[in-house]
């Protein structure tokens, strides 16, 4: 099981004023050939994912570390009757803190309708495995 920690920016109605607040949520994923959410019911209305902490293992030296990955891209598509589908791309590019091995990965998250997790897919990863 892979556990992602998502950081989100959420709207909060505070005394008739809308203020930003930050929340963290845990997303558990099964690891087979790819990653897939344990529960598809995850939802976070009024929140927007801004970054993710992803536990990985360096394929060269075996060192385990947490990659701090940012949302690098966001696209919306107009879909059917429930409105927009949002695709967010979590991207990481860095080095293993122990051996300097170059590592990178991209994770795609789809929300439909916005705030409701639809699908997660690892687009590619280089030099690391998800743990
Ligand atoms: Zn390493």
- Which residue, chain included where needed, has tokens 């004023």? 17
**Residue 58 in tokens:** 């360096």
Query: Given pLDDT bands bounded at 50, 70 and 90, which one contains residue 41?
Result: low
Model confidence at 61: pLDDT above 70: yes
Q: Can you give the pTM of this predicted structure?
A: 0.83
Ligand 1 centroid to residue 87 C-alpha, Å: 31
Question: How remote is the CA of residue 3 from the centroid of ligand 1, in Å?
Answer: 20
pLDDT band (50, 70, 90) for residue 38: low
CA 63 – ligand 1 centroid, Å: 5
CA of 127 to the centre of ligand 1 (A): 8
CA of 37 to the centre of ligand 1 (A): 27
Give me the half-sphere count of Cα atoms (radius 13 Å) on the Cβ side of residue 95.
5
Q: Are 9 and 22 in contact (CB under 8 A)?
A: yes
- Taking the centre of ligand 1 as the mean of its atom positions, its distance from the CA of residue 15, in whole angstroms, is 49
Residues, Cβ < 5 Å to ion ligand 1: 58, 60-61, 63, 96, 98-99, 101
Residue position matching structure tokens 């998800």: 130
- Whether pLDDT at 80 is above 90: no
Please give the Cα distance from 96 to 80 (Å, whole number): 43
- Strands, DSSP E only, in the chain? 2-14, 17-31, 35-37, 47-58, 64-79, 83-95, 102-111, 117-126, 128-130
């Amino acid at each position: 099981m892979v556990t992602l920690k998502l950081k989100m920016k959420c709207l909060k109605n505070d005394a008739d004023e809308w203020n930003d607040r930050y929340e963290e949520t845990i997303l558990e994923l099964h690891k087979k050939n790819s990653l897939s959410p344990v529960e598809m019911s995850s939802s976070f209305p009024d929140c927007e994912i801004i970054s993710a902490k992803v536990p990985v293992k360096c394929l060269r030296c075996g060192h385990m570390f947490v990659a701090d990955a940012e949302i690098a891209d966001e696209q919306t598509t107009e879909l059917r009757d429930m409105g927009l589908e949002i695709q967010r791309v979590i991207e990481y590019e860095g080095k293993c803190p122990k051996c300097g091995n170059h590592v990178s990965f991209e994770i795609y998250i789809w929300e439909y309708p916005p705030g409701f997790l639809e699908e997660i897919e690892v687009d590619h990863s280089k030099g690391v495995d998800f743990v």
